[in-house]
Amino acid sequence: MIKNSEKVYDELLVLRYQSGDDLALPRLIERWQSRLVNYARMTTNDTDLANDIVQDTWITVIKKIRSLRDSRSFRPWLYRIVAHKIYDHFKHVKVKNDHIDASRPSENPKVVDSSQQLLESRQEMNLVLNKLSREHRAVLVLHYLEEFEIQDIAGILSIPSGTVKSRLHHARVNFKQLLEALDG
């Protein structure tokens, strides 16, 4: 969960950068780079693409951050940029948004915990996530891993709140079915 002190620090960094302190931007990048790559990787199912999207995101941030009116909205604004970059990529290459090719090998994040059970649990979760549609992965990751509220997710993905709720519902049902099939 994002703590209030972390939110305030991000707001301060945004305000400092907007006021001309060029050292604030590298701090923001350092704080958010791995999270953004993780979100993009889990949504696209492609580590190289995720890195490219996040790099492109930072270019957009550099160009537009001075016009961000409310520094408190930095986090959703940042994720909205990533989400739009992902959407634009798939729109550009004309990949169907319904399903990601299940034949591609899944990638598992590095796990620091040495517990075999935890490792297996995370591998199962990633395997199941990778079988979901990109839209379902996006809402699950934003809601459960990045801890955004429904309204924030709606803003990030530029869809109505009702659509977020519907996608979350269907994503949970599909996730549960796929997990049960994996365990069965």
Question: Rounded distance, CA 68 to CA 41, Å?
Answer: 26
Averages of pLDDT over each 10 residues, the chain, 184 residues? 82 96 95 96 93 97 95 95 92 52 43 49 77 92 92 95 96 90 76
pLDDT, residue 91, reads 82
Give the count of beta carbons closer than 10 Å to the beta carbon of residue 112.
Answer: 6
Q: Which residue has the tokens 């950068």?
A: 17
pLDDT, residue 143, reads 93
* CB distance 50 to 37 below 8 Å: yes
The CA–CA distances, whole Å, from 93 to 59, 86, 88, 89, 164 equal 21, 11, 9, 6, 25
Strand, helix or coil for residue 88: helix
Q: What residue ranges define each of the domains in the chain, with the CATH number in brackets? A: 4-183 (1.20.140.160)
pLDDT, residue 128, reads 84
The CA–CA distances, whole Å, from 153 to 18, 75, 158 equal 25, 11, 8
Strand, helix or coil for residue 159: coil
